Amino acid sequence: MSVTDNINAIRKALPAGVELCAVSKFHPVEKLQEAYDCGQRIFGESREQEVRQKYEILPKDIEWHFIGHLQTNKVKYIAPFISMIESVDSERLLDEIQKQASKNGRTIDVLLEIHVAQEETKSGWLPSEVTDLMHNARLAERWPDVRMRGVMGMASITDDETQIAREFQSLKEVYDHLLVLLAPQGITADTFNIRSWGMSHDWHVAVDNGSNQVRIGTDIFGEREY
Ligand SMILES: *Cc1c(COP(=O)(O)O)cnc(C)c1O
């Protein structure tokens, strides 16, 4: 199956209203171009240098989503063009995104990455940490050029679909809770409307459990060559 076939098959299977982020990390620009040529515009990358190189080469109407761990000292390199940073997991990172967004005269969209999986190694805020922060911080004053767009997360690596579903439900609960907490600050589901969960092996479970953006790499581009 070609990249085009894969994308078309996924599009057919995705319910209306669920967006596809094509995770293109470690894949060559030729493959991204093929995805672009069949209409794909949202691409997910996880390394700062790689996304910069691809941004230079590929069409400028691509929306680049950063989905990997982002060091604060790397934000400046992607701030001029990144559409969304999905992997925001600390106040320090939010502060730096604010600084660089302002320097570039841009507003940068972000998702709050929430840790619900069992693996300790996965990053992201604990639900209570992020709800405390969003409850107490004055967003418009502290991060005026950062736009909170929703929540991102990953389930545990397991074959147990019940557990995966439960973890995605936890993400949905955090999202719903944040909506309530952010309403007094004027942030509503008009803009805080992205629930990004589901990858190649679990996106079917994700869309049944509240996701409206799946991030799919392997099922589109094949195995990554590291
Ligand atoms: C790599 C990656 C994906 C895509 O994984 P696949 O299993 O290849 O679909 C999705 N989300 C994040 C955060 C990733 O790092």
Pocket test for ligand 1, best of 6, 20, 23, 224 (most atoms within 8 A of CB): 23
Average confidence (pLDDT) over 9-33: 97
| 213, containing H or E segment | strand 213-216
User: Which atom of ligand 1 is the closest one to the Cα of 199?
Assistant: 9
Q: What is the pLDDT of residue 81?
A: 98
> DSSP code of 15?
P
Distance 76 CA to ligand 1 centre (A): 23
Q: What is the pLDDT of residue 60?
A: 98
User: Which atom of ligand 1 is the closest one to the Cα of 152?
Assistant: 13
DSSP bridge pairs for 20: 214
Q: Is the pLDDT assigned to residue 121 strictly greater than 80?
A: no
Q: What does DSSP say about strands 194-196 and 19-23: parallel, antiparallel, or unpaired?
A: unpaired
Interior angle at CA 122, CA 120 and CA 127, nearest 5: 85
- Which tens digits make up the pLDDT trace of 75-108? 999 999 999 999 999 999 999 999 999 999 999 9
Distance 199 CA to ligand 1 centre (A): 6
Q: Whose CA is nearest to atom 13 of ligand 1?
A: 67
pLDDT grade, residue 46 (50/70/90)? Answer: very high
CA nearest to 109, candidates 53, 54, 150? 150
Enumerate residues lining ligand 1, CB below 6 A: 23, 25, 46, 67-68, 199-201, 215-219
What percent helix, strand, coil does the chain show, rounded to 5? Answer: 45, 20, 35
